[in-house]
A and B are shown apart, each in its own frame.
Chain A
Amino acid sequence: MTLALCLSLGAMGCWDASAVEDKDIVTAVVVDKTDSGYSFTVEIASISQGGGSQGGTKAPESKVLKGEGKTFVAARESLERKSDKLIDLSAVQSVVFTENMLYDDITQYMQRFRHNPAYRKTVYVAGTRVTPDDLMKATSENNTLVGTSLYQTFLSLIKNGQMYEMTMGDILTSLSCEYKGYLIPAVDLSDGEITLIGFYAMEGGACKGFVPVEGSSGIVHFHTKSKPIHYSVEYKGLEAAFAVDMKKAVTRGEYRDGKVRLNIRFSGKATLQYLSEEKKVTDEELNEMGETLKQDLRERHMEAVKTSQRVGVDYLDLHEAFRIQNPDIYKELDWSQVYPDAEINMDMDVEIRWGTIDYKEKEGE
C-alpha cells in the first residue's frame, strides 16, 4: 500500500521533474529602486564543470544577472530573458534591499515574496548602501558566493549574540501586524568583506531611520535570550571584562492619564572573565565592579530605547508586551503616535559571579 502510494506520488511529480543542470540556482537576490523602476540582481551558483581553482581545490563559481523594468513583473521578465535556464529561487540564502529601495517601499516586493512558494521564508534579509554591482563583487577567503557569505555572516553574528534572527518571514509577520515596526540589518563592504554596520528602522514597508551598530548594543536583549555578550568596565584604573548572560526583557505596560508607561526589567548573570592587570580583588570590590557594570548596561539599554523613540519606530517590540497586557486599550491606540512620548523606566537585575580564573583575594592575604 505504502509502496503504491509512493509510486503514485512519484508519478504525479513528472510534470515538475527538472534536472538540476537545467536550472539557474540563485543564492542571493538584490532588490533595487532605480530611476526608471526596479531592478533585480541575482547571483547564480554554477554547478557545471569548469569552475576556477584556488589552491588546488575547486571554488564555487557564480555568475551575476541583472533585470530591470518599470515594475517588479517587468524586472523579473527582463531577468528571465537574460537567463538561459529556468531561474530557481528555492536555494536563495539572502535577500538584500538597497537603501533606495528601503527608503521607498518594500511592501509590494514582500507581497510578491509571500505569494511565491518556491522562496523559503527563512531566507535572511539585509539592507545596504552599496550598489548591487559592487555587492556582487564581494568575496571572502572561504566562500566566493555572496549569498552564502551573507548567510554565514548573519549566522555567526547570531551565534555571537550581536544579532537576532531576522528573516523574510519575520518581516512578513511584522508587516501584517497592527503596528509594523521592525529592523533590517545593514551591511557594507569593508576590504571586500561583508560587514554589519547597523540597522534600518522600518515602519511598514518604508525605512524611517538608521541605527548605527555602535549605538545598537542592547537591541538584541529586547528580542531574545542571546548567547553571553562581553562587556568591559573601568574600575579604579582597572579594566574588568565580564561575560553577560541576559534573559529576554520583561516589560509591564499601563495606560494612565493619556500616556503609555512601560517598566522594563532585565535580569541575568555577569561572570568576571579577566582584569587588565594581574591583581587580586575582594568580594566587595567585585560587587562594586558589578554596580558599575549594571549602570553601564542600564545606560546602553536605555540608549537603545531612547534611540528608538527618537527615530519614532518601536523596533524593540515593546508594543507586544503592552498589547498582551492591555488588549482592549491597545486596539484604541495608535502606537506610532503614543510610543515616542511613552514614559519608560528600566530596572537592571544582574547577578555578579566570579569566573574560572582565580582573582579572589583570600582572607589574610
Chain B
Amino acid sequence: MDNTITNRQMVFILFLTLTSITIITIPKTIAEKAGVGGWATLLLTALMFGLLVMVIASLNSMYRGKMLYDYSRELLGKAFAVIFAVFYSLYFLMVSAYLCTSMASMLKANFLLETPLWAFVLVSLPVFGYVAYKGVTNIARLFEFYGVIFILAMTVVHGVMLYQGETDNIRPLFVPSETGKYLAAVKDTIIGFLGIEVLTITPFSLKRSKKAPRVAFLTLIAVGFAYVLVVETSIMMVGIHEITFYEYPLINAIRQIVLHYIEFLRRVDIVYLTLGVMGIVAGISMVYLAIVEYVCRLFPRAARWLVVVIVGFAIFLLSLEGFGILDFRHIAVQLITYGGLLAAGVIPVSLWIVAKVKRHG
C-alpha cells in the first residue's frame, strides 16, 4: 500500500486538524486576551507557525515516503528516534485526551445535556479507532471529503453572521496603545495552530512534493484568516464582553443567528452540530492515527489492530481521568502548548538543521 499523501490532502489535514476544537473556543481567548485587535495576533501567530510547518514539510520532502521516526533514525540514530517516538506518542495521547474531553464537554453543555460525559468518548472512540486503523492514505481521502463540506458550511454560516452581526462590536480594528496586549496574546493563540506536528507521520508522495513547504505555509496563513473570520463574526454576533462568558462561544454566536424566512434552518446550531462536528471527528482521528503510527514504529512486530485497541483504551482511560480533574482542560492546554512547541518547533527545526548540515557536509 502506498502510505503517502498528496499536497491537496495535506492542505485538508492541516486545516481540519488545526481547527478541530479551537475553532469553537478561540473567540473567547481572543476577546479576553487581545480584544478588538485580536485579528493581528492571529495572523502573526499564523505567520510564525507557517514558518514551522515549512520546516516539517521540507523535511518530509527531503525524505519522501518517510515519517519523522524514519528520518530521525537516519540522521541521529536509533536511540534519538526511539526517544522522539516515545515523546510524540505521549504528547499525542495528551492531545487526544484533551480533544475527546473537549468534544464531550461541548456536546453535553450545548446539545445533549443529560448524556454522561464518558458515553460520548466510549461511543465515538471505535469510530476514531477504525479510521486510525485504515492508515494515513485512507484518512487523507476522508479529509478531502470532510474538508470540502466543512469549508462550505463554514462559509455559509459565517457569511450569514457577517451580514447579521453588529460591526460596532469589532471596532476599532486596531488600538495603537494596545499593541503590547496584542503581542502578548500570541502565547495564548499557540494552541490554535498546534496540530501541524501531525505532518511528522504523513509521508509525502513522490509527485510535486517540492512544492509542499510553500503549500503548507499558505495553508497556515489560510487557517489564520479562517480563525479571524470565526473570531470577528462571533464577536459581531455576541459582543466582545459577552463572549467571554461562554466556554464554547462559537456555538453561542451561531445560536444568535435569526433566519425568520427559512423555516427548516431556524436552529442553525443543530446544522453546525452535524457539519461542524465533522471537523472535531477528523481532528481526533488524525491525532489517534499519529499515536498508532509512532507506537507501530516502536513495536514493529505488534499487530496494528492490537495497537489501535490499546491506544483507544489508553485514550478512554485518560479522558475518564480528565473528566475527574476539575481544571483538566486548562492544565492540558498548558501542557500541550509547551509540549507542542517541542513537537512542532524544536525537534523538527533541530532535525532540519542536522539534515542540511549532513547534506552539505
B131 cross-chain contacts in A, Cβ below 8 A? 1
Interface centre among B110, B119, B239, B278, by most A CB within 10 Å? B239
Interface residues of chain B: helix, strand, loop or mixed (majority) = helix
The answer to whether B77 has its CB under 8 Å from any CB of chain A is no
The answer to whether B242 has its CB under 8 Å from any CB of chain A is yes
The answer to whether A19 has its CB under 8 Å from any CB of chain B is no
**B 86-100 binary contact with A (CB < 8 Å = 1; else 0):** 000000000000000
B278 cross-chain contacts in A, Cβ below 8 A? 5
**Whose C-beta in chain A lies nearest to the C-beta of B239?**
A173
B239 cross-chain contacts in A, Cβ below 8 A? 172-173, 176-177
Given contacts A117-B109, A173-B242, A327-B175, contact A8 B142 (CB under 8 A): no
B238 cross-chain contacts in A, Cβ below 8 A? 169, 173
**A 55-74 binary contact with B (CB < 8 Å = 1; else 0):** 00000000000000000000
> Which stretch in A118-126, A139-147, A252-260, A300-308 binds the other chain?
A118-126
B130 cross-chain contacts in A, Cβ below 8 A? 1, 4
**A 1-20 binary contact with B (CB < 8 Å = 1; else 0):** 10011001101111110000
Min distance, Cβ A11 to any Cβ of chain B, angstroms: 5
The answer to whether B83 has its CB under 8 Å from any CB of chain A is no
For the complex, give the distance between the alpha carbons of A172 and B130 in Å: 43
Q: Are A328 and B245 neighbours in the complex by a CB distance under 8 Å?
A: no
The answer to whether B277 has its CB under 8 Å from any CB of chain A is yes
**Whose C-beta in chain A lies nearest to the C-beta of B178?**
A327
The answer to whether A155 has its CB under 8 Å from any CB of chain B is yes
B109 cross-chain contacts in A, Cβ below 8 A? 117
Q: Are A12 and B123 neighbours in the complex by a CB distance under 8 Å?
A: yes
Q: Are A118 and B255 neighbours in the complex by a CB distance under 8 Å?
A: no
A167 cross-chain contacts in B, Cβ below 8 A? 256, 258
Min distance, Cβ A259 to any Cβ of chain B, angstroms: 22
Other-chain contact of B256, A5, A16, A121, A320 (Cβ < 8 Å): A121
For the complex, give the distance between the alpha carbons of A169 and B269 in Å: 15
Q: Are A176 and B245 neighbours in the complex by a CB distance under 8 Å?
A: yes
Min distance, Cβ A166 to any Cβ of chain B, angstroms: 12
Min distance, Cβ A183 to any Cβ of chain B, angstroms: 15
B260 cross-chain contacts in A, Cβ below 8 A? 155
Min distance, Cβ B160 to any Cβ of chain A, angstroms: 13
Given contacts A12-B115, A117-B113, A121-B255, contact A5 B281 (CB under 8 A): yes
Q: Are A120 and B255 neighbours in the complex by a CB distance under 8 Å?
A: yes
A1 cross-chain contacts in B, Cβ below 8 A? 127, 130-131, 142
Interface residues of B in 107-126 (CB under 8 A from A): 107, 109-110, 112-116, 119-120, 123-124, 126
Q: Are A12 and B175 neighbours in the complex by a CB distance under 8 Å?
A: no
Q: Are B171 and A12 neighbours in the complex by a CB distance under 8 Å?
A: no
**B 222-253 binary contact with A (CB < 8 Å = 1; else 0):** 00000000000000001101101100000010
A-B contact count (CB 8 A): 87
The answer to whether A324 has its CB under 8 Å from any CB of chain B is yes
**A 287-327 binary contact with B (CB < 8 Å = 1; else 0):** 00000000000000000000000000000010011001101
Min distance, Cβ A210 to any Cβ of chain B, angstroms: 26
Q: Are B123 and A8 neighbours in the complex by a CB distance under 8 Å?
A: yes
- Count of interface residues, chain B, beta-carbon cutoff 8 Å: 38
B175 cross-chain contacts in A, Cβ below 8 A? 327-328
A225 cross-chain contacts in B, Cβ below 8 A? none
B114 cross-chain contacts in A, Cβ below 8 A? 15-16
**B 254-278 binary contact with A (CB < 8 Å = 1; else 0):** 0111101000000000000000011
Q: Are B110 and A117 neighbours in the complex by a CB distance under 8 Å?
A: yes
Q: Are A16 and B245 neighbours in the complex by a CB distance under 8 Å?
A: no
The answer to whether B2 has its CB under 8 Å from any CB of chain A is no
Min distance, Cβ B56 to any Cβ of chain A, angstroms: 27
B244 cross-chain contacts in A, Cβ below 8 A? 176
Q: Are B112 and A15 neighbours in the complex by a CB distance under 8 Å?
A: yes
The answer to whether B327 has its CB under 8 Å from any CB of chain A is no
Min distance, Cβ B101 to any Cβ of chain A, angstroms: 15
For the complex, give the distance between the alpha carbons of A327 and B175 in Å: 7
Other-chain contact of B242, A8, A117, A176, A324 (Cβ < 8 Å): A176
Given contacts A169-B238, A327-B172, contact A15 B115 (CB under 8 A): yes
**A 324-354 binary contact with B (CB < 8 Å = 1; else 0):** 1101100000000000000000000000000
Q: Are B242 and A172 neighbours in the complex by a CB distance under 8 Å?
A: yes
Q: Are A122 and B115 neighbours in the complex by a CB distance under 8 Å?
A: no
* Other contacts beyond A1-B127, A178-B241, A328-B177: 13, CB < 8 A: A4-B126, A4-B127, A8-B123, A12-B107, A15-B112, A15-B115, A16-B112, A117-B109, A122-B258, A176-B241, A177-B239, A177-B241, A327-B177
The chain A residues found within 8 Å of chain B, CB to CB, are 1, 4-5, 8-9, 11-16, 114, 117-118, 120-122, 155, 165, 167, 169, 172-173, 175-178, 317, 320-321, 324-325, 327-328
The chain B residues found within 8 Å of chain A, CB to CB, are 107, 109-110, 112-116, 119-120, 123-124, 126-127, 130-131, 142, 168-169, 171-172, 175, 177, 238-239, 241-242, 244-245, 252, 255-258, 260, 277-278, 281
A-B contact pairs, 8 of them (CB 8 A): A12-B107, A15-B114, A120-B255, A121-B252, A121-B256, A169-B255, A173-B238, A173-B242
